[in-house]
Amino acid sequence: MKNFKSILGYTWAVAALIIAPATFFGLDYFSRVLAEATGVTVNPWYTGGEIIKSIDHGSYRTLLHRPVFDSLIGQKKKGFIQINWEPAAGLPPIIREGFDFNNDHEEDFHLTLNTKTGKVELQAVNAAILPEAKAYSLRNGWAVRISLQRQP
């Protein structure tokens, strides 16, 4: 038993000698394998969540994300919905667009975004929309987040 433990100990110690360089030489490979095997993504509170609608306007496109209320278990009372416009080079000075995020074929809110100043105006139609909208200048365009409250 003592010898077995000893052999096991030395084997792991020698394995550490291999693990150290392998960790660096195989970093990209192992990272890809880890990401693919776990299917892990960045939390939607940061990314804005999955895109549910993409509207092509010729020189630019609008990307509507799903509403985010994600919580550890269940849903939070307050969430947001994100809209992206890209690419930056193709954006008009003023964007005016209406959105239906719950697919009831009725406009839920209307946005006006000044792509020069970042000023955003929100007209809410749906009761879930809170009067809080914030614009973010991204490397490849603009994003706006609108606060939502969960409807019963």
Partner 1 sequence: MYIKLDGFILGLSNGGACMAACAPVLLPYLLGEGKGIASNYWITGQFLLGRLWGYLLFALLAWMVNTAVLRESEMWNLIIGVAYVLFAALLIFYGFLKKEDSGCQNSCNRKMYQQLTTLRPALFPVTAGFVTGLNFCPPILLAFTGAAAQSSLIMSLLYFFSFFLGTSALFILLPLIGISNRFAVIRIIGKMAAGIIGFYYLYSGSIMLLRGIAKL
Partner 2 sequence: MNINKSAAAPVNNKPGLFKTLLLCLPMMTVTLLMLSHGQRPEEPALLIAFVLTFAFINTIFFFMIYTGETDRWRSILFIVYSFCFILSFITNLIEVRGSMAISEANMIEGLTPFCHIVIPMTLIPLAITKTIIFPGTIIGANASIAGMFVLWIGTSLALGRGFCSWFCFFGGMDEGFSRLFRKARIKNIDRKWTYLPYALLLVIVLASAAALAPFYCEWLCPFKTVTEYQEITSIKTALQAMIFVSLFIALVMILPALTERRIQCGLFCPFGAFQSWTNKINVFDVRIDPAKCIKCYKCVQICPSFSLSEDTIAKGKTATTCMKCGKCIDACKQHAIVYHIKGTPLNEGKVEIARRLFIYPAFIFLATMAGGVVQDAIVKIIKLVTTGSMI
Taking CB within 5 to 8 Å according to partner kind, which of partner 2, partner 1, none is near residue 37? none
Q: Which tokens is 48 given?
A: 């804005």
Beta bridge partners of 129: 148
Shortest distance (Å) from residue 33 CB to partner 2 = 9
Residue 148's alpha-carbon distances to 48, 50, 89, 139, in angstroms, are: 13, 16, 30, 26
Single out the residue of 73, 77, 105, 127 in contact with partner 1 (rule: CB under 8 A): 73
Q: In this complex, which beta carbon is closest to partner 1, that of residue 54 or of residue 75?
A: 75
Find all residues with CB under 8 Å of 124, minimum gap 6, and list them: 108, 109, 130, 131
Q: State the residues that interact with partner 2 by CB under 8 A.
A: 2, 5-6, 8-10, 12-14, 16-17, 19-24, 27-28, 30-32, 34-35, 38-48, 70-73, 82, 134, 136-139, 143
Q: Which stretch binds partner 1 (CB under 8 A): 41-49, 68-76, 82-90, 99-107?
A: 68-76
Residue 82 CB-density burial (10 A; 0-12 exposed, 13-18 middle, 19+ buried): buried
User: Sign of the C-alpha dihedral, residues 38, 65, 149, 151?
Assistant: negative
What is the closest distance, in whole angstroms, from the C-beta atom of residue 151 to partner 2 in the complex?
21
Interface with partner 1 (CB under 8 A) = 72-74
